[in-house]
Amino acid sequence: MIKDMFDKQVIELKKLWGNKRQLLFQLLNLAMIVFSALMIWKGLMFMTKSESPVVVVLSGSMEPAFQRGDILFLNNAVEEVGVGDVVVFKIKDRDIPIVHRILKVHEDENGKVELLTKGDNNRVDDRGLYAPGQLWLEREDILGKATGTLRYVGMVTIALNDYPVLKYVLVGMMGLFVLTSKEG
């Protein structure tokens, strides 16, 4: 049965190749779909002023509030972050963002802010995670404050990360189906 489907797709593709105008139309259609998703992402980046407006929780350090595999929506357009806020931050020169809660906030007379964070499920604060010699975080290190969450939806991302082959398989199949379906 799968071979039949595959054959049908191949026939459709061959038909498409013969008619260049139709092929161009379908390719642009596919591009528009991909770009729509991209543009929504960029739009979110614009509105939340954050590099990464949606992140997936990778570790269990914030249980029971957030589990591994949850999706978090971030907002970096807030001016100040206070004690008790759940924030996502990146330590300088490291790639992986971390989701923890703010424990202490110090502000001096110039307005410069220093922050200390700790994971709800950790025994100690994050000083062990910071760069050697670093005792406090600054506002620039914060990617955003968590303003919304979706349980377990992020498991898909974790699976795609652990098995990169899945990414190509998924995108390939979606591309094939969009190219050969003619709703445009």
Partner 1 sequence: MAKKNTKNVEEEAEGELEDEEDNEDEEEIELLQVDTGDMIKVKQIMDETVAAAVLEHIDEDYKLDNIKLIIMTAACAFAMVAQFAPIPFPDSRIILGACCCCYFVLSGVLQLITTFVDMDSILITRPLSKNGPNGCGPEEKKTKTSQIKNKDLFQYGVRVRSQFPRFSEWYTVILELQNKEKSPCVSQKWSVGQFFDKEGMFDEIGLQMEVDKLYHRLENGDYDKDVDAKKKD
Which of 50, 61, 70, 141 is catalytic? The answer is 61
Examine residue 183 and tell whether it contacts partner 1 (CB under 8 A). yes
Please say if 106 is a catalytic residue: no
Tokens of 182: 């003619």
Question: Closest CB to partner 1 among 26 and 61?
Answer: 26
Residue type, 127: R
36 is catalytic: no
Residue 36 or 161: the one with the smaller Cβ distance to partner 1 is: 36
Neighbours of 178 (CB within 10 A): 18
Query: In what order do the strands lie in the sheet containing 98-107?
Result: 54-56, 71-75, 142-150, 86-89, 98-107, 113-118
Q: Tell me, yes or no, if 181 is annotated catalytic.
A: no
Burial of 24 (0-12, 13-18, 19+ CB in 10 A): exposed
What binding mask, one character per residue, do residues 24-63 give for partner 1 by CB under 8 A, x or -?
xx--xx-xx--xx-xx--xx-xx--x-x------------
Residues that bind partner 1 (CB under 8 A): 15, 18-19, 21-22, 24-25, 28-29, 31-32, 35-36, 38-39, 42-43, 45-46, 49, 51, 182-184
